[in-house]
C-alpha cells in the first residue's frame, strides 16, 4: 500500500468556489461539477481499488486528478480546463509510503497511440520494401568502386543483393515488421512492459482493445503483480473479468459512490449473467 486515502472537494466547497468565480452555469469549469453528481468526496484504498460506473460517471476524472496530485508518470495528454490545477490543489492525499518513481497512469489513449506507432512503423517498412524491390536488380548490375570509408556501407548493400534472392534481400534489409501481433496482443504487451514492480498504477479501462481471453490474461497478470511484485492498483473498468478481482474494493459511481460487497451486484455483470442464462441450453447442447 502506497496510497491510503484521497479527498476531493465536497459539493459545498465546489459551490462556494463557483459562487466566488461568478461563472455562468454553462461555462466549462471541468473538473468541477463532475464528482458531486456521483456523491464522491473521498476514497479509502486497498491494494486493489476498482471504480465502476457508466460513461460520464467520473471514473477517468478521478484517475486523472489523483495522477496529477501525486505527480505520476503518463504518456498521453488528457482532458483538462484552466480550472484543473485549481481543483487539484483543493484535493488531499494520504500516503502510507512515498509514491515510487515508477508509478504511473495508463489510459486507453496510451494503448491506442502505441498501436498507431506500430502501424506507422509497419507502413514505413512496407514503403521500404517496395523501394528495395525496385533497387534490387539495379544493385546487382551496378558497377561501384570504393573511394572512401563512407562507400563501404553501399558496397555491403551491393554484395548483399548479388549474394541473395530478391525475397531474402528485401526481408533482411527492410527490418522486422511488428504486425505479427494482433492489436489485443500488442495492448496486452503494453501493460506487461509498462507496469513495473513496487509501484502505484492507475489503469483507465484497460480492457479496451482486449478480447475476453486477453482480458483474463490481463487480470491474471495484474493479480500476480499485486501478490508477488508489491504493486497497488486503482482501476476503472466495466470488465467482469477485472471486477472479479479477489479482495478488491469496488466503488460504484452510479450509486452515490457506494462500496459494493460483491461484483455480482453490479449492473453490467448481471446483464452478462442474464444473457448467458437465457442461452444456457444452447451451450449445454453443444
Together in a domain, 209 and 277: yes
Together in a domain, 86 and 193: yes
Together in a domain, 197 and 58: yes
Which pLDDT score is estimated for 174? Answer: 59
User: Considering its fold, how many domains does the chain have in total?
Assistant: 2
Task: State whether residue 258 is helix, strand or coil.
Answer: strand
Confidence tier at 178 by pLDDT (50, 70, 90): very low
146, 174, 202 - which closes a domain: 174
**179 assigned to some structural domain:** no
Q: What is the mean pLDDT of residues 88-112?
A: 90
pLDDT tens digits for range 9-56 = 888 877 777 776 765 544 678 888 888 888 899 999 999 999 999 888
155, 174, 193 - which closes a domain: 174
Together in a domain, 78 and 189: yes
**For residues 250-282, b (16+ Cβ closer than 10 Å) or e, as one string?**
bbbbebebeebeebeebebbeeeeeeeeeeeee
Q: Within 10 Å of residue 243's Cβ, how many Cβ atoms?
A: 22
139, 174, 209 - which closes a domain: 174
Q: What is the mean pLDDT of residues 224-240?
A: 94
**180 assigned to some structural domain:** no
Query: 235 or 11: whose pLDDT is higher?
Result: 235
**Are 69 and 91 contacting, i.e. CB atoms less than 8 angstroms apart?**
yes
Cα 264 from Cα 201, distance rounded (Å): 25
Cα 234 from Cα 236, distance rounded (Å): 7
Together in a domain, 280 and 212: yes
DSSP state, 140?
H
Cα 120 from Cα 76, distance rounded (Å): 17
Confidence tier at 252 by pLDDT (50, 70, 90): very high
Instruction: Give the three cell numbers for residue 178.
Output: 511488428
Together in a domain, 202 and 258: yes
- The pTM (predicted TM-score) of the whole model is 0.76
Together in a domain, 98 and 217: yes
Together in a domain, 52 and 193: yes
Q: What is the mean pLDDT of residues 168-184?
A: 57
Quickly list DSSP for 80-119.
Answer: --TTHHHHHHT-EEEESSPPPTT-EEE-HHHHHHHHHHHH
Q: What is the mean pLDDT of residues 202-208?
A: 92
Which pLDDT score is estimated for 154? Answer: 60
- What domain range is 195 assigned to? 3-109+185-285
Amino acid at each position: 500500500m502506497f496510497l491510503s486515502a484521497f479527498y476531493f472537494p465536497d459539493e459545498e466547497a465546489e459551490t462556494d468556489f463557483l459562487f466566488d468565480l461568478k461563472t455562468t452555469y454553462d461555462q466549462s469549469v471541468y473538473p468541477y461539477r463532475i464528482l458531486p453528481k456521483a456523491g464522491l468526496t473521498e476514497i479509502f484504498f486497498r491494494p486493489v481499488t476498482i471504480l465502476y460506473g457508466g460513461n460520464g460517471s467520473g471514473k477517468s476524472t478521478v484517475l486523472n486528478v489523483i495522477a496529477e496530485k501525486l505527480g505520476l508518470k503518463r504518456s498521453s495528454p488528457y482532458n483538462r480546463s484552466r480550472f484543473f490545477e485549481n481543483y487539484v490543489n483543493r484535493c488531499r492525499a494520504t500516503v502510507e509510503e512515498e509514491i515510487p518513481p515508477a508509478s504511473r497512469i495508463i489510459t486507453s489513449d496510451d494503448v491506442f497511440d502505441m498501436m498507431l506507432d506500430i502501424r506507422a512503423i509497419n507502413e514505413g517498412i512496407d514503403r521500404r520494401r517496395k523501394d528495395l524491390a525496385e533497387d534490387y536488380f539495379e544493385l546487382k548490375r551496378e558497377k561501384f568502386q570504393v573511394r572512401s570509408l563512407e562507400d563501404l556501407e553501399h558496397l555491403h548493400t551491393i554484395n548483399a543483393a548479388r549474394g541473395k534472392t530478391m525475397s531474402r534481400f528485401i526481408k533482411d534489409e527492410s527490418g522486422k515488421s511488428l504486425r505479427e501481433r494482433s492489436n489485443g496482443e500488442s495492448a496486452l504487451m503494453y501493460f506487461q512492459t509498462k507496469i513495473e514492480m513496487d509501484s502505484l498504477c492507475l489503469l483507465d479501462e484497460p480492457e479496451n482493445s482486449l478480447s475476453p481471453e486477453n482480458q483474463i490474461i490481463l487480470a491474471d497478470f495484474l493479480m500476480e503483480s499485486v501478490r508477488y511484485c508489491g504493486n497497488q492498483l486503482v482501476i476503472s473498468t466495466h470488465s467482469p473479468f477485472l471486477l472479479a478481482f479477489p479482495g478488491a474494493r469496488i466503488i460504484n459511481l452510479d450509486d452515490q459512490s457506494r462500496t459494493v460487497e460483491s461484483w455480482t451486484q453490479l449492473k453490467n455483470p448481471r446483464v452478462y449473467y442474464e444473457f448467458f442464462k437465457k442461452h444456457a441450453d444452447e451451450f449445454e447442447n453443444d
